[in-house]
Structure 1
Amino acid sequence: MSRRVTPALLASAVLMAGLVGCSTQTRPSQHAPAPPVEPKAAATPTPQVAASRAPQHTFAVGVRQLKLNRNGRALPTTLWYPAAGQSGGAARRSAAAAEGRFPVVMFSHGLGGRPDDYATLLTRWAAAGFVVAAPAFPHTSAGADNNVLDVLNQPADVSYALDRVLALGTTADDPLRGRLDGERVAAAGHSAGGVTTIGLFTIARDERLDAGVVFAGTALGVGTAFAGAAAPQLFVHGELDEVVEYAAGKAAYDKVPWPKAMLSLPNGDHGRTMLKDKAALRVVSDTSVEFLRWSLYGDAAAKKRIPTDATRGDIATFDDHL
């Protein structure tokens, strides 16, 4: 299946500073204004992936670094991937890849964050049978100048990084040669990374993407003109979010025209609950894994398990339109 990347038209968009404090650290509350009104775009009615079955076991996890650069924008990218050997334990540096062809998930960190901040969650995705690529952005990662307006350049960064990651699957002698399924690709991100992810389905639509996962995100700056083939979306948001108001995330979710679901954490904040609290992390991890198994592998049995995982322990509520 041939898929074309639509050029990003980001120069005219304006992103207000409502995303200050997008990492999992405690930050002052900022109230984001409503996203700009965008014309609705037509979408085809069905997801893109063919039905198959996700792996029924967990994998060991390997991790490696890529030195990527897009026109002077340094994008060091961490890769977590299914590895050969006994499952469990920490990710192993440059471990041999497991046998098989695996879907790819591009992950975008929050403002002032790093890919490693999300290692526990992303390692679980890799163990379930996904290759996860997480670039560190040049102006919004830890130690950078925290220029929130540069979020508008990040969808193009992700598409570029995806180009380079998928190229590994056909690169002679690369450990991931023959291991990447470029027809099964998702984007995910937290906070400013959630804005980045929404942008990849709106004004910077990357037609290779089959699904999205938005953690504590908003459409501020990138709009809600969701376009292209239907790409199921999972939104995850804490109702006590002190940075990106729950209502802002819900407003973006409500505009998604495709199969979608929203996992709401009544006691959840901007990210610490989701990523640090073990019980909440389990619900978020299990729900997102089953969502990715369904949306990228086309695994119908995984779809049936999503509501059970989402509502386990009464930690979250689940709005299900998948």
Structure 2
Amino acid sequence: MSRRRTAALLATTLLTAGLAGCSGQAPAADRPDVPAAPATSATPAPRVPAGTAPARSFAVGVRQLKLNRDGDRPLPVTVWYPAAGPAGGEAERSAPAADGRFPVVMFSHGLGGRPDDYAVLLTRWAAAGFVVAAPTFPHTSRGADGNVLDVLNQPADVSYALTRVLALDGEDGDPLRGRLATDRVAAAGHSAGGVTTVGLFTAGRDDRLDAGVVFAGTSLGVGTAFAGAAAPQLFVHGERDEVVDYAAGRAVYDAVPWPKAMLSLSKGDHGRALLTDGAALRVVSDTTVEFLRWSLYGDAAAKRRIPADAARDGLATLDNHL
């Protein structure tokens, strides 16, 4: 596919993605079919050994990292993490980290969005025992120039930011020194960030990643040639998505050769369930937390809880091949 054609397709599909894209005003557009991988009766096992996730909730701290890739790609990163002290309440800036070693989740925002737009969901992940690092991308964040084609550079941005975040575990004097499970890492993202996340397992495969969560994503520009060690994937998609067709997200899910599941919100649109607290967000939050507990902590009990969390209140269905 030519570079110009790729840009046009990405612009059509993702122009209103992220926070602004939830208005339902995006025009319908034809999108190319994505070939599905042949079905297999057995899938490779994930590489995270069996373990147990924390049973308690944590307080949440938040901090900012000022990163810049290659000197011309500023990448401020918001980091939410388990903090010392009683659980509940707002995230506290620069709070002391809780004791323990916590897996890392890299989160990519949608077009026209910012990490804080997803704070309700991401702080729940942190409270469950994960360090969540979310870059603000230089061209696709709110207030930037909106260059949609730059989505194709974002998998490399995430890999760079991941390197810098993991390095904090060994940095003298850093509040996260000795607190990161550097061998247990996932990537997640919404819409354009979903494209970024798919790219981290295909064309821009980062071998450090053990799992992925794709919200309302597609494979335009990054393909479906999933590569590397088995990395379980959870897809979350609204069946009434007005920006990225549900069928397009489903086609990428079908192409995944590893353990996988797809949470389909029967009345879900492009992303309001991720941005506003409510029954749908609770289903998404609880399902994704259990998936991360299983895929990054190796917690088998969490895996068994996924179907019940997905079915709560009859808001979603789960295609489960984990």
TM-score bin (small chain) = over 0.9
- Identify unmatched segments of 5+ residues in structure 2: none
Aligned amino acid, residue 78 of structure 2: T
Amino acid in structure 1 at the alignment position of 2:6:
V
Q: 1:277–1:102: structure 2 CA closer, same or farther, 3 Å change rule? A: closer
Q: How many equivalent residue pairs?
A: 311
Per the TM alignment, residue 31 of structure 1 is displaced from its structure 2 partner at its CA by 2.8
CA displacement, residues 251-288 of structure 1 (integer Å, 9 cap, x when unaligned): 10000000000000010000013432500000000000
1:318 aligns with 2:318: yes
Q: Does 1:243 align with 2:243?
A: yes
Counterpart residue number, 2:17:
22
Aligned to 1:56: 55
Q: What is the match of residue 256 of structure 1?
A: 256
Provide closer, same or farther for how the CA distance between residues 80 and 277 of structure 1 changes in structure 2, counting only shifts above 3 A. Answer: closer
Name 1:116's counterpart in structure 2: 116
SS state at 1:117 partner: helix
Give the structure 1 partner of residue 206 of structure 2.
Answer: 206
CA distance in 1, matches of 2:132, 2:268: 25
**Displacement of 1:163:** 0.2
CA contact (8 A) 1:22 1:192 kept: yes
Structure 1 residue ranges without an equivalent (≥5): 1-9
Distance 2:52 2:284 in 1: 22
Letter in 1 for 2:14: L
Over 3 Å counting, the alpha-carbon distance change for 1:220 and 1:176 in structure 2 is: same
Are 1:89 and 2:84 counterparts?
A: no
Give the 3-state SS of the residue equivalent to 1:67 in structure 2: strand
Q: Post-superposition shift, 1:14? A: 2.7
8 Å CA contact 2:37, 2:256 repeated in 1: no
Counterpart in 2 of 1:4?
none
Flag the 1:28–1:301 CA change in 2: closer, same or farther, 3 A: same
Give the distance between the partners of 2:5 and 2:203, measured in 1 at CA. Answer: 9
Report the CA distance shift for 1:37/1:12 in structure 2 as closer, same or farther (over 3 A): farther
In structure 1, the partner of 2:64 is: 65
2-structure distance, mates of 1:284, 1:167: 30
How far, CA to CA, are the matches of 2:235 and 2:92 in structure 1? 30
Give 1:1-322 correspondences, 5 Å limit. 14-15=6-7, 16=9, 17=11, 18-25=13-20, 26=23, 27-31=25-29, 33-34=31-32, 45-71=44-70, 72-322=72-322
Instruction: Report the CA distance between 1:36 and its aligned residue.
Output: 6.4
| Greater share of helix | 2
Cα shift at 1:51:
1.1
Equivalent pair of 2:37/2:255 in contact (CA under 8 Å): no
> What root-mean-square deviation, in Å, do the aligned CA atoms of Structure 1 and Structure 2 show?
1.9
Against the structure 1 CA distance between its residues 255 and 39, is the aligned structure 2 distance closer, same or farther, given a 3 Å change threshold?
A: closer
